[in-house]
Amino acid sequence: MQPLSRGASADLKPGQEVFALGNPFGLEHSMSKGVISGVARSMEGTAGWPMSGIIQTDASINPGNSGGPLLNSEGSVVGVNTAILSTSGTFSGVGFALPIDTVQKNVASMIEEGYVTRPSIGVELAPDEVLAQLLLGVWGF
């Protein structure tokens, strides 16, 4: 067995052919073919955290595909299959993959720092009780 080569996701374009590998519904060694439908999409992750920069594809990504590679036509990994968005509750919908450039950056951060560094503006929201105390102290409410 040989590792797959890592491609780049920064230059992906809508219409580019891709292949999703995985084990959908336990069916091992499966592959589906599709195209990049969009890049730099945003969606809410399972824990409620926003995910941005996501690759949208029409290649079938179903339960069991998550974590599998999304390959370009040269066979290089350009993403990691992540989710399907379906309004009907069925497994037909829009597939999403994490860009390999993001995965590479996050893995490097986990190896070096032990966690993924997220951008922040240094603002922390105070609980409602603090607002009530401020209003009471300033305006006598």
Of the candidates 78, 76, 77, 105, the one whose C-alpha atom is nearest the C-alpha of residue 11 is 78
The verdict on residue 93 lying in a domain is yes
pLDDT at residue 50, as a whole number = 77
The verdict on residue 29 lying in a domain is yes
On the question of pLDDT at 136 being above 80, the answer is: no
The verdict on residue 136 lying in a domain is no
Q: Which residue has the higher pLDDT, 125 or 89?
A: 125
As a whole number of angstroms, the distance between CA 52 and CA 41 comes to 6
The verdict on residue 118 lying in a domain is no
Domain ranges, residue 96: 17-113
* 9-58 residue pLDDT tens: 998 999 999 999 988 888 888 889 999 999 988 877 767 777 788 999 99
On the question of pLDDT at 99 being above 60, the answer is: yes
What is the domain-level CATH number for residue 72?
2.40.10.10
Of the candidates 98, 101, 90, the one whose C-alpha atom is nearest the C-alpha of residue 11 is 101
* Residue whose pair of structure tokens reads 């720092």 in the numeric block: 113
Residue 77: both structure tokens together: 């990994």
The verdict on residue 72 lying in a domain is yes
* 71-95 residue pLDDT tens: 999 999 999 998 877 666 555 668 8
Q: How confident is the model at residue 137 (pLDDT cuts 50, 70, 90)?
A: low
* 107-123 residue pLDDT tens: 888 888 887 776 666 66
Other beta carbons less than 10 A from residue 114's beta carbon:
7
Cα end-to-end span (Å), the chain:
71
pLDDT at residue 26, as a whole number = 82
The verdict on residue 6 lying in a domain is no
List, as one string, the DSSP characters of 100-137.
Answer: HHHHHHHHHHHHHHSS------S--PPPHHHHHHHHHH
pLDDT at residue 57, as a whole number = 93
Question: What is the number of domains present in the chain?
Answer: 1
pLDDT at residue 27, as a whole number = 81
pLDDT at residue 13, as a whole number = 94
